[in-house]
């Protein structure tokens, strides 16, 4: 399979499929495709997998596309302005991703639920207790809000991340939360009381415009609250 990512800050992944190759995506993700691309809806591993995907922010069913009678083309556009990043998933090199980041993958990439075991990280880390674990082997396409930046952390090296800015990290990394030092900093610094610490070894991908921050800037949360009160 060959692919290109076009569109700048309004990205779309355009995949060129050979007969027999399959691409897996969530419900409603396809943007356009050649007429010889055929879709089949799948449970993706049974009832347990279905509920696992639902908990991790994806649709319960998956759509599987493949071309018939020759090469085909299919495109998946990002839902928001930002970036589409391709991650090579290999045995022993799993990735943990934020909920809702999955765009599509080749058929041998397996999505499962990652449960945040540390209470503090789950409550205050901004990503919640449930994230997505990507394993197997193949290419994973993820959506990123805004600009994407990747860091490679050595063993014991940490990156401090504010709420919502973490997109993905190697499964070899660990996540924890720590309080902002100093009472004055916590109360008046404007950065909240907790920060998320990602510690290596492994790769970390962060984003510049989390959708939650965008909603706050546009006042969407306040507008929804006012509507709900009426």
Q: What's the residue count for the chain?
A: 230
Q: Which residue has the higher pLDDT, 113 or 12?
A: 12
pLDDT digits (tens, 9 = 90+) for 85-112: 999 999 999 999 988 889 999 999 988 8
Neighbour tally for 11: CB within 10 Å = 20
Total domains, the chain: 1
Tell me which residue range forms the domain holding 123.
Answer: 2-220
Residue 141 has pLDDT above 50, yes or no: yes
Q: ω before 118 within 30° of 0 (cis)? A: no
| Percentage of residues in the chain having pLDDT higher than 90 | 55
35 burial via Cβ count (<10 Å: 0-12, 13-18, 19+): exposed
Q: Is 226 within the bounds of a domain?
A: no
| pLDDT score of 225 | 45
In a domain, 227, yes or no: no
Domain assignment of residue 108, yes or no: yes
Residue 172 · residue 133 · CB < 8 Å? no
- Residue 212 within any structural domain of the chain: yes
Q: Which of 93, 170, 101, 99 is nearest to 136 (CA)?
A: 93
Mean pLDDT of 108-130: 64
Residue 230 lies inside a defined structural domain of this protein: no
Q: 215 versus 1: which is more confidently predicted?
A: 1
Instruction: Establish if 209 belongs to a structural domain.
Output: yes
Choose among 107, 124, 103: nearest CA to 186.
124
pLDDT higher than 80, residue 56: no
CATH code for the domain in which residue 156 is found: 3.60.160.10
Question: Is the pTM here over 0.75, yes or no?
Answer: yes
CA–CA distance, 108 with 96 (Å, rounded to integer): 16
Residue 225 lies in a domain: no
Whether 13 is covered by a domain: the verdict is: yes
């Amino acid at each position: 399979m060959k692919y290109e990512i076009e569109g700048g800050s309004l990205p779309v992944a355009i995949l060129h499929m050979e007969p027999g190759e399959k691409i897996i995506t969530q419900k409603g993700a396809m943007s356009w495709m050649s007429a010889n691309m055929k879709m089949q809806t799948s449970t993706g591993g049974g009832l347990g997998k279905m509920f696992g995907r639902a908990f991790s922010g994806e649709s319960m069913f998956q759509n599987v596309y493949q071309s018939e009678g020759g090469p085909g083309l299919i495109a998946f556009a990002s839902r928001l302005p930002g970036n589409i990043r391709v991650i090579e998933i290999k045995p022993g090199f799993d990735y943990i991703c934020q909920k809702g980041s999955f765009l599509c993958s080749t058929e041998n990439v397996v999505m499962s639920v990652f449960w945040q075991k540390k209470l503090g990280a789950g409550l205050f880390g901004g990503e919640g207790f449930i994230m997505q674990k990507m394993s197997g082997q193949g290419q994973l396409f993820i959506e990123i809000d805004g600009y994407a930046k990747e860091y490679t952390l050595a063993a014991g090296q940490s990156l401090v991340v504010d709420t919502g800015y973490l997109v993905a990290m190697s499964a070899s990394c660990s996540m924890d939360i720590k309080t902002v030092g100093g009472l004055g900093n916590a109360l008046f610094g404007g950065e909240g009381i907790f920060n998320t610490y990602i510690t290596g070894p492994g790769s970390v991908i962060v984003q510049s415009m989390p959708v939650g921050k965008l909603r706050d800037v546009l006042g969407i949360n306040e507008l929804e609250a006012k509507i709900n009160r009426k």
